[in-house]
Structure 1
Amino acid sequence: MKNPFYVNELPKQEMESLSLVDKTGNYILSPDDVEALLAGRRTNLMSLKNLDASGVHIEQLDAKLSLDRNPDGQVSFRLHPIYKQPIIPPLLDEDEAQALITGETLSIDKIIPGPGKKEVVFEYDPDTREFISFDPKLVIAPDKINGYKLKDWQKDDFQKGFNVRLPDGTELQHRATDPKGIRADRAALILSVLLDGGISYLLIRGLRHLLNSDKKEQADEQTPAFKKAYAEMEKHFAKKFKAADQQTEETRGYNKTRAR
């Protein structure tokens, strides 16, 4: 699954100004936050210190970060601070907004008025007290989860942040506000997507609970379907690495032949 950003595109100068680089030049970011940034999502809430913005010194600011690509291709940070109170978007009415704020509803799908009938999905980030929106068509839905092939309507539900239930009872949702992009009632999932170059596997561990609750224990991810999908993933990578090693050996042999 291809990320929209590469690690070498992280804006180092901005990271230094945000005190996210130590004296040795290493990033002071967790692997989960780096993964979230490269995937085009928001980091966890972090405490940024000694900021200078438009000539104003800010000793400390709690905020989330995401990456943004400018029209000229340059990558820069976007800061998502904590708002004093949520600002309700025009497309949402009071009841819809409150349902998102309270967690009664986790996502709301709306149609933007005008030609084209463009869809937009709203979520609420309780950490920053901010409503966020995204185009569901830009969300890549997996072809399989834990080896179960998703139906077209399940892919559509996934893209819109609705609940997806697998045959073994596993439940999950795409979450644009979550650093990993998914929440589930199990701590790990195996996603697979069919790409031009074949199948691509992604094992995601450390998933947050679907119910926005860290107190309720998640179900065991080691279901028969998960174990089978894991075995298939290992077999796929073993075959891929073997083919790569064989190609390397053939290249070495070819080079030796040419050198004679």
Structure 2
Amino acid sequence: MGLLRPELMPRHVAVIMDGNRRWAVQRGLATGQGHEAGARGLVELAQLCFKRGIHTLSAFAFSTENWGRPHGEVNCLMFLFEKYLKLKIPFFQRERIRISVIGDVTKIPESLLRTIRGIEESTRIYSTKHIIIAIDYSGRYDISQACKRIVRKAKGGSIQMEDVDEDMIEKELLTKCTEFPNPDLLIRTSGEQRISNFYLWQSAYTEFFFSPVLWPDFGEDDFVEALISYQQRDRRFGQRA
């Protein structure tokens, strides 16, 4: 704990929460129990982040590709999202945590969408702690929808081709909801070493940490290990030291 330097903390941490199913299989549990353990782990990690002054936590909860999973597992995940969002509303309000959900929400169940809209509205006023949950999210979709929005503005005459730059694109990405649109550190658990279509634009200069630990087992010691690794890196952003 003493090895961490507060002034070098990342402002925005993103996590790919991988390993819930394997965790359940190893224990002879149902897949849904693994995902439920994973949901609890996200809340615990958020508390660890905010305790250390990390302003924003992003979680890749459900990718666009996850629709291809068994129907029962998908329904279980949608149920868990709604259950935990409702269950944690008092916690989010008490701790003054803003909740945002990003992704293509057009295919998610109507009851979950109503819950999302309600919790986003009720926590919008909070500014010092922010959890972003990516549901039906795809980095490619994020970039393409940003391009479409810019094209519509150009057709409407509000912008010219010369106005389009990186700053404009970033303002059209789904992460425009946060003060820090680009994560400083991205953690993926379970030993996989890829980003699986998550934050393709936003992670251009993100530091990566790959942990062999399955997501439900990823605890404070593992998080500290990731933070220590991050703080030991020389972030040059493509420039010479």
Q: TM-score, normalised by structure 2?
A: 0.24
More helix as a share of residues: 2
Which fold has the larger relative contact order, with Cα–Cα distance below 8 Å and residues 6 or more apart in sequence? 2
Higher Cα Rg, which structure: 1
